[in-house]
Amino acid sequence: MPFDLILRGGRVIDPSQKLDAVTDVAFRGGKVAAVGDALAADPATEVRDVSGLIVTPGIIDLHTHVYWGGTSLGIDAEEFCRTSGVTTAVDTGSAGPGNFAGFRKHVIEPSQVRILAYLHVSHAGIFGFSDRVMVGESEELRLMNPVDAARVADENRDLIVGIKVRVGLFASGTSGIVPLEIALEVAEQVGMPLMAHIDHPPPSYEEVLARLRPGDVLTHAFRPFPNTPATAQGTVKRSVLEARERGVIFDIGHGKGSFAFKTARAMLANGFYPDTISSDIHQLCIDGPAFDQVTTMSKFLCMGMPLPDVIAASTVNAAMALRRPELGSLKPGSVGDATLISVREGRFDYVDVVGEHLAGDRKIASEGVVIGGRWWHPT
């Protein structure tokens, strides 16, 4: 059978196969069909010369907010993914059991970009997040809805990949750690991982980590002080190392207030790379400091994280966190998603959430995406 599309002559970096070589990638029937040199094209095959570009598995942004129109923080997934090279946007708790049906029908199902979701344990998800109104949904325990959260998660297993909760001074206020305990009970009931947001204490970084199970995700993992994973002496806290040893996943979740160069430098200097790199893109950070996924990836590249590791943290590692091994890989039979990027050299200004600037010498740029085995370019 002929291939539908061949990407010809790009540098293919696929950490899932430990592959880094100039070669071709072919797609058929919505899946990766072959990876190899000089793949044969039929007259019906679309062939794109991508020499000089890097071909990666479809980039996964593990932390986004794309319930556009349903919450004030939601951004348009298709526009974001086109410019950021993302083929799978994972929404992290924008919707809860009270409004997930609308998210599914009006945003997820019409989207050409794949959208998966962590379901918020709070009834209406993150409902009070804007420039003028900022209400931590976990402050009010009456909004915790574990019974319906378990039901909705069970009924939507094709799209829901886990349970989300936000704890910290701004998210849970005087409720402290209690919403996390409720969310963990739901996650245990439905057999899904949990993603926990953390901001200022209370609770402390250590208190949250102590409750997370293997496969659970701590997002905003490279936060600035307070609730940072690094000590004042620049070492990694013992509780952080112990959590990684037992299988807790450390995700960046850059966002408006959750990533600092100082923290990242300390963690990288100790050889503690993030498991997953994500943007936490939403209305209040899309114009800075996060901007998009490739900018977040670029920051780590400029701080010395090797390019294959940066790509792994946005492809295969994210797919494993989602328990979706068909994603994040260019192995034949995998979902037919790919991202084309370039690494531009020059002088680029990057900024973190506390206003520190980094002068970087490289920038990862999105040059196109393949979704479902087809070259994708929304009108």
Q: Domain extents for the chain?
A: 5-56+333-376, 58-322
Summarised one tens digit per residue, pLDDT across range 146-183 is 999 999 999 999 999 999 999 999 999 999 999 999 99
What mean pLDDT value characterizes the chain?
97
CA–CA distance, 339 with 367 (Å, rounded to integer)? 8
CA–CA distance, 271 with 259 (Å, rounded to integer)? 18
For residues 245-258, average pLDDT: 98
CA–CA distance, 119 with 182 (Å, rounded to integer)? 13
Summarised one tens digit per residue, pLDDT across range 309-353 is 999 999 999 999 999 999 999 999 999 999 999 999 999 999 999
Q: Where are the beta strands (DSSP E) in 15-159?
A: 19-28, 31-36, 46-49, 54-57, 59-64, 86-92, 114-120, 128-129, 134-135
Summarised one tens digit per residue, pLDDT across range 80-114 is 998 899 999 999 999 999 999 999 999 999 999 99
CA–CA distance, 26 with 31 (Å, rounded to integer)? 9
For residues 116-141, average pLDDT: 96
The whole-number pLDDT of residue 377 equals 73
Residues in binding site: 63, 65, 164, 197, 220, 280
What is 58-322's CATH number? 3.20.20.140
Domain 5-56+333-376: CATH architecture, name and number where available: Roll (2.30)
Summarised one tens digit per residue, pLDDT across range 66-87 is 999 999 999 999 999 988 999 9
Task: Dig out the tokens for 85 from the structure.
Answer: 């090279």
Residues in binding site for Zn(2+): 63, 65, 164, 197, 220, 280
Q: 313, 207, 320, 193: which is closest to 253 by C-alpha? A: 313
pTM attached to this predicted model: 0.97
Split at pLDDT 50, 70, 90, the class of 378 is low
Split at pLDDT 50, 70, 90, the class of 24 is very high
Kindly tell me the sign of the dihedral angle through the C-alpha atoms of 345, 346, 351, 355.
positive
CA–CA distance, 68 with 115 (Å, rounded to integer)? 12
